[in-house]
Amino acid sequence: MRGSIELVCPAGSPAMLRAAVEAGADSVYCGLRDETNARNFPGLNFSPDELAQACAWAHVRGRRVLVAVNTFARPGETARWQASIDAAAVSGADAVIVADLGLLAYARERWPELRLHLSVQAAAGSPDAIRFYASAYNVRRVVLPRVLSVQEIASLMREVEVETEAFVFGGLCVMAEGRCALSSYAAKRSPNLCGVCSPPEAVTYTEEDEALVSRLAGFALDRYPLGEKAGYPTLCKGRFETRGRLSYLFEDPVSLNAMGLLSGLRAAGVTAVKVEGRQRGKAYVARVAGAFRQAIDALDAGRDPQPFEGLLSDLAEGGRETAGAYRKTWR
């Protein structure tokens, strides 16, 4: 790691992994090509052989590879999830990112030397919860749920001794990790069990009455004036009319950009900052990793990293950005 904060970037493919590392990522996170990771989209992810090659390539360059096995094992099918833990360990991965309690127990017992990170899907946001995972499963790092302010993270860090990782850029999901089932109502596939939210084959865009209509499995989720930027249709970010008022009921289709809060997150005791977007491609990760590399290096040199925040504004979903819960202006 080159800076005071570890920069963790997404890798949806071997090419994307290389782009992230070459642009300045300290670590990359990826998944195997199946339902055991929460980005199980066609054309994404790694075979076991590709993962082993990627780990070797990254290690030569002093970088780390974290493998997400972050969906919840279905009853009667746990062997598939255990096999992903095994593949990550055999590949030489530096850590696995896990949410399922049974898988944490399996990894601890089968591969005692394998470093365990707790996925954001576990929603561990209190000192007691974090201490439980650290004590029971020897979890070394916790990916923090996206409901905490910077001040709350600082208070939390005063009571725990594990590493923490916080999301700082990319798409935002409904801020109750590990509980998403909305997609399964329409598309019959849940991101927490199958790794797919709004599967691409169920998504359509059509022009109707001088508007662009986005649909998921035939359900209209939003209507945009022609020329307006349209987000990817997910039920949690759909715009619905209730009581005569048109609004986003769950969450607006905006992107997280907390680059301006890097100083506060470092002061709060956060170990690593994480970029979302394994499905976005190598050009995306190269730009985001490069911008955050500059920002972290500026912070380490005693300069303000906020000027670099504007480098990524055009990547925002729907053309809008937010600091999310970190500032909690909605409280």
Sequence length of the chain is: 331
pLDDT of 331 strictly over 50:
no
Residue 96 is predicted with a pLDDT of 98
Whole-number Cα distances in Å, 194 to 1, 43, 121, 199: 33, 16, 13, 10
Spatial CA neighbour of 24 closest among 45, 4, 1? 1
Q: Which residues contact 211 (CB under 8 A, 6 or more apart)?
A: 223, 224, 225, 226
Higher model confidence: residue 39 or residue 107?
Answer: 107
Dihedral (CA of 272, 274, 278, 284) sign: negative
Cα 163 from Cα 269, distance rounded (Å):
9
- Topology of domain 6-172+254-326 in CATH is TIM Barrel (3.20.20)
Q: What is the pLDDT of residues 190-246, one digit of tens each?
A: 778 788 888 888 999 999 988 999 999 999 989 888 888 777 888 888 888 888 888
* Alpha helices (H) in the chain, listed in sequence order: 14-23, 48-60, 78-91, 101-110, 127-137, 150-157, 182-187, 191-194, 262-268, 282-300
Q: Which of 29-43, 89-103, 119-133, 187-201 has the least mean pLDDT?
A: 187-201
Residue-averaged pLDDT of the chain = 91
Domain borders along the chain are 6-172+254-326, 182-248
Q: Is pTM, for the whole model, over 0.85?
A: yes
E strands within 145-260? 163-171, 203-208, 211-216, 219-225, 239-242, 245-248, 255-257
Q: How many CB atoms lie within 10 A of CB 252?
A: 14
Cα 188 from Cα 281, distance rounded (Å):
26
Long-range contacts of 314-318, Cβ-Cβ distance < 8 Å, separation of 24 or more: 315/255, 315/284, 315/287, 315/288, 316/254, 316/255, 316/257, 317/171, 317/231, 317/232, 317/253, 317/254, 317/255, 318/229, 318/230, 318/231, 318/252, 318/253, 318/254, 318/255
Whole-number Cα distances in Å, 63 to 7, 164, 213: 10, 18, 43
What number is the average pLDDT over the span 174-182? Answer: 72
Contact 324, 146 (CB under 8 A): yes
* DSSP conformational letter for 74: P
